[in-house]
Amino acid sequence: MAEELKIAVFASGKGSNLKAILDAIKERRLINTAVVCVISNKKDAGALEIAKYNNIPAYYISQSNYSNSDDFDAAIIEVLIRHSVNFIVLAGYLKLLSPRIVRKYKDRILNIHPALLPKFGGKGMYGLNVHRAVIECGEKISGATVHLVDEEYDHGPIVLQDSIELDPDETPESLQKKIQEIEHRIYPEAIKLFVEGKFIEKEIINNEY
């Protein structure tokens, strides 16, 4: 039997993508997969509440509680090792993962972005900012992108995308709602591709970082 995917979900926000992934696991659309911990840099993130409700260990780990970024990274890595994490899913995590973590989990970190990358990505491109920019640029379509994570914001090989046409009277809020529905569908699908070995897989060497 293939290795079980033990996912750490990183989230700063309400956690609707975390919930979509947990639903897919419960409904067995995603098999051989478990979310083993949730990590947030925001104390009041809805994602932490969703984790607790589902009896998943939930951790608030903020850079502000550490005197330097090495100690902050070490705290995150300690949690990842404690739960034997072998895959990371970023679901609205508003902080760049350190190169140390990106290297340790090379080709085993996914991010979801509410636009059709490579357009409308990068620092500051989150939440309604993204949809405002899409509408202001007069785009006719937008969508969501799941990609492998490298050391830059919203950068790395694209795994899955889906799109919709904008309505003439589209607002950032209406677009956000439609795109979140796409996200909730394609994020579990992208994880499934990994479980089925349908995108690049490399061994991570535990405890080597």
Min dist CB 33 to ligand GRF, Å, is 17
List interacting residues with ligand GRF (CB under 6 A). 11, 13-17, 91-92, 112-114, 180, 183
Active site residue 147: no
Residue 93, C-beta contacts closer than 8 angstroms, at least 6 positions apart: 10, 11, 12, 40, 41, 111
Min dist CB 87 to ligand GRF, Å, is 17
Any long-range contacts for 57-60 (C-beta under 8 Å, 24+ apart)?
A: 57/83
Residue number with CB closer to ligand GRF (74 or 128): 128
Min dist CB 61 to ligand GRF, Å, is 17
Residue number with CB closer to ligand GRF (184 or 192): 184
Min dist CB 191 to ligand GRF, Å, is 14
Min dist CB 204 to ligand GRF, Å, is 23
Report the residue number whose CB is nearest to ligand GRF.
Answer: 92
CA separation for the pair 209, 198 (Å, rounded):
26
Cβ neighbours of 110 (radius 10 Å): 24
Question: Measured between alpha carbons, how far is residue 90 from residues 25, 78, 107, 139, 165 in Å?
Answer: 17, 18, 13, 26, 26
Cα angle value 15/88/189 (rounded, 5°): 70
Just list the catalytic residues. Answer: 113
